[in-house]
């Protein structure tokens, strides 16, 4: 049985403040295949505090460096796509070929799309004689549905971090 009960906060895997395990049921056979943790207010507060502390240095990171890190993320994502597809298949009951090509594949497609969009994105431009500056806004709280997992995660996380925001997912 897969056991993923820690949260990734402030650059490390940490146990929940208060253990609250949840079995994950495979809808194809109605059997638990994994155990995850439900977070508490204390876990969210810790994650938000870490994201706030990381915001200013991350926002000041040059765009070229953020792009390089997103490219590295894409390489890791692609390397781990079969692992993600297997978990998606178990979690959703999706056929493994669909989980790999469409479910996990959607994340690759979106990350590549955001990298392409960043090439020409105008963080500064003039409009009606005024200089418009697009700047990161801070910590983004991101909630995603379960039914198209990597699609939704990449659609929210990648553009937020690409423009200099930090996130709590």
pLDDT digits (tens, 9 = 90+) for 121-152: 999 999 999 999 999 999 999 999 878 889 99
Looking at the predicted structure, is the pLDDT value of residue 158 above 90?
A: yes
Looking at the predicted structure, is the pLDDT value of residue 17 above 80?
A: yes
Q: What is the pLDDT of residues 26-65, one digit of tens each?
A: 999 999 999 999 999 999 999 999 999 999 999 999 999 9
- Cα(27)–Cα(67) distance, rounded to whole angstroms? 38
138 Cβ contact partners less than 8 Å away, ≥ 6 residues apart:
52, 55, 165, 166
- Cα(121)–Cα(158) distance, rounded to whole angstroms? 14
Q: What is the pLDDT of residues 77-108, one digit of tens each?
A: 999 999 999 999 999 988 999 999 999 999 99
Is pLDDT larger for residue 109 or for residue 149? 109
- Residue 36 C-alpha from the chain's centroid: 17
| DSSP symbol at 136 | -
Residue with tokens 């379960």: 146
The overall pTM is greater than 0.95: no
Asked if 169 and 156 touch (Cβ cutoff 8 Å), the reply is: yes
Going from the N-terminus, what domains does the chain have, and what CATH number goes with each? 2-168 (3.40.605.10)
């Amino acid at each position: 049985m897969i056991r993923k009960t820690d949260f990734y906060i402030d650059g490390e895997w940490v146990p929940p403040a208060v253990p609250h395990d949840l079995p994950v049921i495979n809808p194809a056979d109605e059997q638990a295949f994994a155990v995850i943790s439900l977070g508490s207010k204390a876990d969210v507060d810790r994650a938000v505090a870490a994201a706030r502390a990381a915001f200013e240095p991350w926002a000041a990171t040059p765009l070229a460096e953020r792009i390089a890190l997103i490219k590295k993320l894409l390489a890791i994502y692609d390397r781990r796509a079969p692992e993600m597809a297997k978990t998606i298949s178990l979690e959703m009951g999706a056929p493994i070929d669909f989980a790999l090509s469409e479910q996990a594949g959607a994340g690759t497609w979106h990350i590549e799309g955001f990298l392409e969009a960043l090439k020409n994105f105008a963080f500064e431009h003039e409009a009606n004689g005024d200089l418009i500056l697009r700047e990161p806004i801070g910590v983004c709280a991101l909630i995603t549905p379960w039914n198209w997992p990597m699609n939704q995660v990449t659609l929210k996380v990648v553009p937020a971090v690409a423009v200099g925001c930090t996130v709590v997912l």
